[in-house]
Amino acid sequence: MRKMEQKLRAGILGATGMVGQRFISLLENHPWFEVVTVAASERSAGKTYEEAVSDRWKMDTPMPESVKKLVVLNVNEVKKVADTVDLVFSAVDMTKDEIKAIEEEYAKTETPVVSNNSAHRWTPDVPMVVPEINTEHFDVIADQKKRLGTTRGFIAVKPNCSIQSYAPCLAAWKEFGAKEVVATTYQAISGAGKTFKDWPEMVENIIPYIGGEEEKSEQEPLRVLGKVENGEIVKAQLPKITCQCIRVPVFNGHTAAVFINFEKKPTKEQLIEKLVNFKGFPQEAELPSAPKQFIQYLEDDNRPQVKLDVDYERGMGVSIGRLREDTMFDYKFVGLSHNTVRGAAGGAVLCAEALTAKGYIQAK
Ligand SMILES: NC(=O)c1ccc[n+]([C@@H]2O[C@H](COP(=O)([O-])OP(=O)(O)OC[C@H]3O[C@@H](n4cnc5c(N)ncnc54)[C@H](OP(=O)(O)O)[C@@H]3O)[C@@H](O)[C@H]2O)c1
């Protein structure tokens, strides 16, 4: 892993929320990034981070001492925030149009924005990246900068948490030509920014609807698997994906039960071999947050389990199990990933590390 002479100064937009807190935790003692600025709504602005979060701290580990006394800034005071940092991580909860606009405002102050939000996931010249799969999509940043009129400011995003339990398999199995995928996701309540304390209706319950999630789960893998053409990302045409997304009484960890058909049906052994050997830029460059092994395959019939496997590779790895032939499809399997680590803040931090290693993010 490469050493950085001086750490880059990071700001967190939406720092008081569930994903914001996860950023704060993951960046504690990070070798390349130091959280120097926290920003949230005007409700929190002016208070210390400790006061603003108060009893809303939702992480298992204590609030880092280094952020407790930082005074929270207002996300909407863009210049004031931007002047203090080299890059920002975005996890604000505002309307899509507001997020689109404010992330562009930050980019135009020459501040790279690495976002967890969905607002820019389909902006043609904004890369949406799982760093093991498609860092070549960073190429569109040059065109985005031309559009924004910036020299170092740009936006990069990571995809939705729901796809991380099966989209990596589609990338690992690309050569077999996946053509049809039927997936059901069983999604944790932290994905809605909630705990059981603030969502008691979820105890012993299942809710068969998560607004907007099925479309994201069906479409976003195609953009990640797409290619760059004329400065834009063109989504892949296959596989066709249909998905149902269900909220389940789990705190952290999205599970997916998946059926799949291929153009060229491989053997089970070939599929497992491709999964466990799948790696990309984070492993080659030994990025600080990279899992050593991105995808593990578990042979036991009762794995992956949320309680046993969600923290695999510090929440940055994906666990797959129960791969077997099916009576209607070629194969079926079950996947699991950590929704607020790999699926949210951790995925964004890895993205920022990849951007830094490739020279897109530097000190101002
Ligand atoms: N939770 C997940 O696993 C997950 C995964 C993927 C994507 N996301 C997305 O990430 C975003 C954040 O999610 P979350 O679960 O962390 O939400 P959250 O816990 O509700 O936190 C929202 C954050 O946004 C701030 N905020 C709210 N309204 C604002 C406004 N008008 N102006 C400026 N800041 C405002 C809040 O500040 P105050 O504390 O001052 O109100 C807080 O810091 C959402 O867009 C969500 O869809 C979440």
CA 41 to centroid of ligand 1, rounded, Å:
9
How many domains is the chain partitioned into structurally?
Answer: 2
Asked if 355 and 154 touch (Cβ cutoff 8 Å), the reply is no
Q: Are residues 236 and 221 in the same domain?
A: yes
334 shares its domain with 351: no
Kindly report, residue by residue over 212-270, the tens digit of the pLDDT: 999 999 999 999 999 999 999 999 999 999 999 999 999 999 999 999 999 999 999 99
Token pair for 300: 């036991």
Range of the domain at 14: 8-160+345-357
With respect to residue 362, please indicate whether it lies within any of the assigned structural domains: no
Q: Which of 12, 16, 116, 93 has the alpha carbon at shortest distance from 58?
A: 16
- The residue whose CB lies within 8 Å of the most ligand 1 atoms, and thus the one to mutate among 12, 16, 19, 100, is 19
Residue 2 is assigned to a structural domain of this protein: no
Which residues line the pocket of ligand 1, CB cutoff 6 A?
14-20, 40-41, 43-44, 75, 91-94, 116-117, 161, 190-191, 193, 339-340, 343-344
For 67-108, write each residue's pLDDT tens digit: 999 999 999 999 999 999 999 999 999 999 999 999 999 999
Q: Is residue 254 flagged as an active site residue?
A: yes
315 and 351 both lie in a single domain:
no
| 3-state secondary structure string across 212-225 | CHHHHHHHHHHHHC
* pLDDT tens profile 275-333: 999 999 999 999 999 999 999 999 999 999 999 999 999 999 999 999 999 999 999 99
- Proportion of the chain above pLDDT 90, given as a percent: 98
- Active-site pick, 161, 169, 243, 245: 161
Instruction: Examine residue 304 and say whether the peptide bond preceding it is cis (omega within 30 degrees of 0).
Output: yes
For residue 239, cis peptide bond before it (omega within 30 degrees of 0)? yes
Q: What is the pTM of this model?
A: 0.97
pLDDT of residue 121: 98
In a domain, 205, yes or no: yes
Write down the pLDDT at residue 5: 75
194 and 75 part of one domain: no
297 lies in some domain: yes
Is residue 22 included in any domain, yes or no?
Answer: yes
- DSSP letters, 333-348, are EEEEE-TTIIIIIHHH
Whole-angstrom distance, CA of residue 297 vs CA of residue 274: 10
Q: How remote is the CA of residue 267 from the centroid of ligand 1, in Å?
A: 43
User: CA 214, CA 229: separation in Å to the nearest integer?
Assistant: 27
Q: Is 257 inside any structural domain? A: yes
Whether residues 149 and 167 share a domain: the answer is no
Q: Residue 208: exposed, middle, or buried by beta-carbon count in 10 A (0-12, 13-18, 19+)?
A: exposed
Closest-CA residue to 91 (of 104, 78, 103) = 103
pLDDT at site 3: 62
pLDDT digits (tens, 9 = 90+) for 110-128: 999 999 999 999 999 999 9
pLDDT category at 2 given cuts 50, 70, 90 is: low
Q: Is residue 363 part of a domain?
A: no
- The verdict on 218 and 258 lying in the same domain is yes
pLDDT the model gives residue 206: 98
Cα 105 vs. chain centroid, distance in angstroms? 22
Q: How far is CA 13 from CA 2, 104, 129, 275, 311, in A?
A: 27, 13, 20, 35, 25
Look at residue 1 in the predicted model and tell me its pLDDT: 55
The torsion angles phi and psi of 354, rounded to 5 degrees, stand at -65, -40
Mean pLDDT of 10-28: 97
Do 199 and 272 have their domain in common?
yes
CB atoms within 10 A of CB 342: 29
Query: Do 109 and 185 belong to one domain?
Result: no
Helix, strand, or coil (residue 71): strand
CB atoms near residue 361 (< 10 Å) = 24
Cα–Cα dist 19/364, whole Å? 26
At 196 the three-state DSSP class reads coil
Residues 288 and 199 in one domain: yes
Catalytic pick among 30, 120, 137, 254 = 254
For residue 62, what is the domain's CATH number? Answer: 3.40.50.720
33 shares a domain with 151: yes
Which residue's CA is the closest to the ligand 1 atom numbered 33? 41
Same domain, 212 and 182: yes
Residue 55 in this model has a pLDDT that exceeds 70: yes
Q: Are residues 30 and 171 in the same domain?
A: no
Token pair 């039927």 is found at 182
Q: Report yes or no: 303 and 321 within 8 Å, Cβ to Cβ.
A: yes
Contact indicator for 282, 135 with CB cutoff of 8 Å = no
Looking at every residue in the chain, the average pLDDT score rounds to 97
User: Does residue 3 fall inside a structural domain?
Assistant: no
Residues 44-66 have a mean pLDDT of 96
